[in-house]
Amino acid sequence: MADKSENSTVLFAGHAIPTSEAWKRMQTMLDTANHLDRLNQMFSHLATDQTRFCVTEARRHIKGAAVESPAKKAKSAPLEPPARDPTGQLKSVPLEKLAADLVVSKGLDAALDAVQAERGVAIGLQDLVQLIGFKAYEQALVAELSSDEFVKNRLSAQQIAYLWNETERPAPGKPFWDERTVQELMNRTDRGEV
């Protein structure tokens, strides 16, 4: 017998479709926007105002998208399950705040797993950076730079760039990390700017 959640439908762009299909479409739109953004950065001489605008608008629409059940359109329920505060009382914590708190307490990679465990939402690193914002992401990278693993192994800026590219850490304003970009982050950290 099919699971009830598999049979539920939502309104997506004015059409009733299965919930799982709506989330797949939203993820596809986000992936497409992220890919277009990388292309804009890699080939900035070919990027136009329209392609940059498309990335911004797609991300804005996806972030603000509300998926509603046709049966409950009049009574819109929160998309996220309520969390509990330290006293055990139910409270609602926005996904952005939860993600930011998890990044600070657990680091980038562990936060991805924790968001899934806490909310049942699988997100990628690009999505996490979108949720927490660039400043928090940059602070997470700085924390990673000063972690025991990085310090103990005395990784060079070139090695860190390679590692961050392999783990698909988004580079600020560039498609990929390079030695210079990592060194700039290290220098800004040393000066207390981050």
Instruction: Express each pLDDT in 70-109 by its tens digit.
Output: 444 333 334 444 455 566 554 556 777 878 888 888 888 8
Q: Where are the beta strands (DSSP E) in 19-165?
A: 83-84, 90-91
Same domain, 151 and 185: yes
Q: Which two tokens stand for residue 107?
A: 């680091």
Span 137-166, mean pLDDT? Answer: 87
Which region, left, alpha or beta, applies to residue 173 given φ > 0 means left and ψ of -120 to 50 means alpha? left
In a shared domain, residues 142 and 156: yes
pLDDT at position 162, please? 92
> Does residue 3 surpass a pLDDT of 60?
no
Q: Is the pLDDT of residue 2 over 50?
A: no
Q: State whether 124 and 137 are in the same domain.
A: no
User: Does residue 185 sit within a domain?
Assistant: yes
What is the β-pairing status of strands 9-12 and 15-18?
A: antiparallel
What is the domain range of residue 50? Answer: 8-71
| Amino acid occupying residue 179 | E
**In this predicted structure, what is the pLDDT of residue 72?**
40
Q: What is the pTM of this model?
A: 0.51
CA distance 118 to 150: 28
Q: Which of 137, 142, 148 is nearest to 173 (CA)?
A: 137
Residues 121 and 154 occupy one common structural domain? no
Is 95 within 8 Å of 121 (Cβ atoms)? yes
- Confidence band of 168 (pLDDT split at 50, 70, 90): confident
Tell how many helices (H) and how many strands (E) occur in the chain.
10, 4
More confident residue, 161 or 14: 161
Is residue 149, in this structure, part of any structural domain at all? yes
What pLDDT, in 10s, does the model give residues 39-70?
A: 888 888 888 888 888 888 777 766 655 444 34
> Which residues partner with 83 through β-bridges?
91
DSSP characters for 4-20?
A: HHHH-EEEETTEEEEHH
Average predicted confidence (pLDDT) for the chain: 75
Q: Are residues 98 and 63 in the same domain?
A: no
Query: 154 and 175 share a domain?
Result: yes
